[in-house]
A and B are shown apart, each in its own frame.
Chain A
């Protein structure tokens, strides 16, 4: 039986570790195991990069201690199982914020490093790994390496974005970002096509720290790529309100027997959302929680995709021909009647990513969910890979459960150099899959 306590967020593929152990003491070696180990943080990776079918998972949430925090410099030293949510709870009241945050705060620091995550401020801040001053890496042979851009720099580059394969990250020192309060100034406007999105993005990136767009993945023809563009900055001290009391989020109560996102609901809901307001542009103040983490407002939202789970697909295509490539991707998705309500477009900046295997690179990124309908879904995703490969782009391993080894090796040409740093005692379902036919 698959192990639902250690599934990935997409709940595909089913997996069963041979053993599960816990790391609770950062001074101790990686727990001994009969099979290759893999760190398992909070299980928010979508695909199989956090799974180790037949191997040993090392739960890292027990490594959840802060080590030091300097409220004058914003430098935080903590264990790798600390959640970004826990950092926010500590830092926001003291006037500090995460330098980079993904769309959920329920990931561990170790997971954020291993996937070198990015956020809506990529064009100014780059990836999470750029803000890691130092990390501690425990290898299964007992070695303990301190890595930074200066110290063991090659190990640092391999571990940031290294999918947990270089060993167990046990602690990290991170530089936070100053804020004057928990609120955001948000500008929202509707756009009617992809060209407008690219223009809006180019204009906004200079004076907005956060930019992202929701796109209607059912739109076709002239409307392809239409959606809502959101640009935001942290609100200055003036106009700050007190932090509201946090309430527990409601949970999606059970796994629905079939996906709630299906042919009957997809198009009407996307169309409704596109036309959700009469006004086509407005400005408002939002608390950082709903602004950055709208989906964290519903726990277990992944249950809405039914028992077969879903696949997330995030790719980036270079600026050259980005318009043509994204158009082709969206046309194919709309023609297949696939996709979801949560389709996101974002222009990555040219801040270099620090990891050998980091996903973000200059270009336009598209991310969306696909309910798992079996073969048609996989065939569509393979076709999307064809477009991304032809464009010279890449697909994000943290969200992948199915890309071919050949595609992976084209997207991540440094894989051979990287594999020299992979701990022989560590493996993952993802890594075995993409390395299957590699020499």
Chain B
């Protein structure tokens, strides 16, 4: 039985991953912004076999709320061995381009608050000498593109942060997993026309569950995104700038 904290537990991807943890009989501590939705997810996971489920209401943008939340999670589960950071927003790129404050707010949620939270978690895990930190980043962080570079750059910052954290914690017994999903059919992408590249939250949640089980370092999900992003990253600028990506 693992003791797993999920921050952003009502997100569609996190919920699907959590169902698999529940089926494994893990103990889960769920954090999100809305109490009634958290309760609905927690009840479901309990029925699906979770050993225990605790919930905690928190807005991750409020950095001062992180430490008390981690204390509560450790107290509720009697320690932690896995943390999945799954929250995030997909800002409107046009609004971010027009208004600096919007761009900064997107960065605050998708990069700054995550760096704050992950630093605290990393220090706790380093002290206890074991643990697995998984964070949901995005393929958007692999190269800044006109269509969503504010979101993408925040994820790029997160990627580099996680790479460095993994480097720092090498040999300490603490694992760091960067999850890079492609486009996923969730409420976050409700406004998009869904093409064949869109994956279901079930698929991505299942891949996350597997990657955590295998203690991998980086997980593209679905796997074909690794190839797509390798191609996009290797495009010469002269070509790249003529694309509509």
Contact = CB atoms under 8 A, between A and B. Distances in A.
Contacts of B37: 25, 27
A69 B47 contact: yes
B187 A26 contact: no
A22 B190 contact: yes
Interface string B43-64: 1100110000000000000000
A26 B36 CA distance: 9
Contacts of A272: none
Contacts of B12: 24
A66 B187 contact: no
Interface residues of A, number: 12
Given A22-B190, A90-B48, A27 B43 contact: no
Interface string B17-49: 000000000000000000011001101100110
B190 A65 contact: no
Interface string A139-155: 00000000000000000
Contacts of A24: 12, 187
Nearest to B35: A27
Contact of B43 (A22, A25, A65, A90): A65
A238 interface: no
Contacts of B47: 66-69, 90
Determine chain B's interface SS by DSSP, over half rule.
helix
A27 B40 contact: yes
Given A25-B37, A27-B37, A66 B44 contact: yes
Nearest to B44: A65
B36 A27 contact: yes
Contacts of B41: 65
A88 to B, nearest CB: 14
Given A25-B37, A27-B36, A27-B40, A66 B190 contact: no
A381 to B, nearest CB: 36
Contact of A26 (B40, B48, B190): B40
B40 A68 contact: no
Contacts of A25: 36-37, 40
Contacts of A22: 187, 190
Nearest to A63: B40
Closest 6 CB pairs of A and B: A65-B44, A66-B47, A27-B36, A69-B47, A66-B44, A67-B43
Given A27-B40, A66-B44, A90-B47, 8 more contacts: A22-B187, A22-B190, A24-B187, A25-B40, A26-B40, A65-B43, A67-B40, A79-B40
Interface of B: 12, 36-37, 40-41, 43-44, 47-48, 187, 190
18 contacts: A22-B187, A22-B190, A25-B36, A25-B37, A25-B40, A27-B37, A27-B40, A65-B40, A65-B41, A65-B43, A66-B43, A66-B44, A66-B47, A66-B48, A67-B44, A67-B47, A68-B43, A69-B47
